[in-house]
């Protein structure tokens, strides 16, 4: 297994700009500069959305809302968006975030995870209690309750 090489944000920016300037295929660029094709794509998305600041290594965990979790998975499963489109649309830190969420989907872990995301939302205790009662009384999944109550990003 190969070791992951850390690339300086200045180098990332150089590779992104050089790739755009040369207007060549990812395969050709990889052969010339020995930079992984997927890395160039990921860096480019981050750079387009948030500039050079996005190219720095993430040091703390990014927290996403239940709304982002549910909608990004739903959008991907609809088939209308590619994984990279969803990363751009919801400003996810990487496609690995979405891959993890897709692994949770259709498993018992999905409702647990959606519940954890809902619990982190900045909403009142009475509203949270109401959501729990809806799950218990109406025998709905956590995902369904979150969707019907349109819990927004917190």
Q: What is the pLDDT along the chain (154 residues), one digit of tens a residue?
A: 445 667 778 888 888 888 888 888 878 887 888 888 777 887 888 888 778 877 777 767 778 888 888 889 989 999 999 888 898 888 888 788 899 988 888 787 777 777 777 777 666 677 777 777 777 787 777 777 777 776 643 3
CA-based Rg of the chain, rounded to a whole angstrom?
A: 19
Whether 135 and 142 have beta carbons less than 8 Å apart is answered as: yes
Q: What is the pLDDT of residue 152?
A: 46
Per-residue model confidence (pLDDT) at position 4:
62
How much is the pLDDT for 80?
A: 94
Measured CA to CA, the distance from residue 60 to residue 133 in angstroms comes to 34
Q: Quick one: angle between helices 95-104 and 108-120, nearest 10?
A: 120
Residue-level pLDDT at 59: 67
7 φ, ψ (degrees, to nearest 5): -115, 130
pTM: 0.54
């Amino acid at each position: 297994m190969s070791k992951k090489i850390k690339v300086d944000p200045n180098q990332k920016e150089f590779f992104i700009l050089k790739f755009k300037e040369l207007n060549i295929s990812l395969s050709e660029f990889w052969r010339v500069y020995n930079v992984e094709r997927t890395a160039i794509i990921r860096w480019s998305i981050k750079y387009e959305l948030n500039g050079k600041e996005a190219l720095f290594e993430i040091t703390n965990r990014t927290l996403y809302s239940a709304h982002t979790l549910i909608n990004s998975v739903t959008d991907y499963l609809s088939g209308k968006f590619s994984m990279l489109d969803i990363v751009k649309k919801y400003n996810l830190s990487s496609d690995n975030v979405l891959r993890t969420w897709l692994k949770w989907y259709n498993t018992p872990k999905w409702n647990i995870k959606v519940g954890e995301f809902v619990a982190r939302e900045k909403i009142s205790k009475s509203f949270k209690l109401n959501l729990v009662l809806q799950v218990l009384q109406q025998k709905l999944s956590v995902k369904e309750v979150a969707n019907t109550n349109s819990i927004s990003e917190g």
